[in-house]
Amino acid sequence: DIGDIIRGKDLFRGYNETDKVQKAILQQRLKEIFKEIYDNLMKDVTMDKKNMAEAKERYKGDTPDFFQLREDWWEANRETVWKAITCKANDDDKYFRDACSGGTSPTHQKCRCVTDVPTYFDYVPQYLR
């Protein structure tokens, strides 16, 4: 799931070497992106000593993976990501399968939650979903 990938918690190891290499490349790129976000954050709070201290304390020891920053970013941006996934979907596209209804109750138009972001799986381990 996208949230797990961004937060660095994706359990998928890959079916073959190509998958494993691609996952490593993706994680390296995410580290680079979140380092840039971290650097920009530190630059933005330099004039405010209180915010600077809070940011440094919150993200102390978070490098090089930036897991806490990724978690915070996902919390702040999940709705935007959800809209990006669903807003241009075709009418017959579905993000969720007909899970609990035995195929008798399809999802509402493009997603199960109409306009709300489905967050009930965010912190359920992948192997339990």
Condensed to tens digits (0 to 9), the pLDDT of residues 88-103 reads 666 666 555 555 445 5
Work out the percent of the chain whose per-residue pLDDT is above 70: 67
User: Is the pTM above the cut of 0.75?
Assistant: no
* Chain centre to alpha carbon of residue 33: 13
pLDDT score of 122: 64
The SS3 of residue 39 is helix
Q: Is the per-residue pLDDT at 22 higher than 90? A: yes
Question: In this predicted model, what pLDDT tens digit does every residue of 28-61 receive, in sequence order?
Answer: 999 999 999 999 999 999 999 999 999 999 999 9
Task: Please say whether the beta carbons of 10 and 46 come within 8 A.
Answer: no
DSSP-based three-state secondary structure for 51:
helix
Using alpha carbons, select from 109, 113, 116, 114 the residue that is nearest to residue 91.
109
Domain boundaries, the chain: 2-128
Distance, C-alpha 102 to centroid of its chain: 29
Residue 31 is classified by DSSP as H
DSSP string across 52-76: HHHHHHHTTT-TTTTHHHHHHHHHH
Our CA angle for 36, 24, 7, nearest 5°, is 55
Of residues 87 and 120, the one with the higher pLDDT is 87
User: What is the pLDDT, as a whole number, of residue 73?
Assistant: 97
pLDDT band at 10 (very low <50, low <70, confident <90, very high): confident
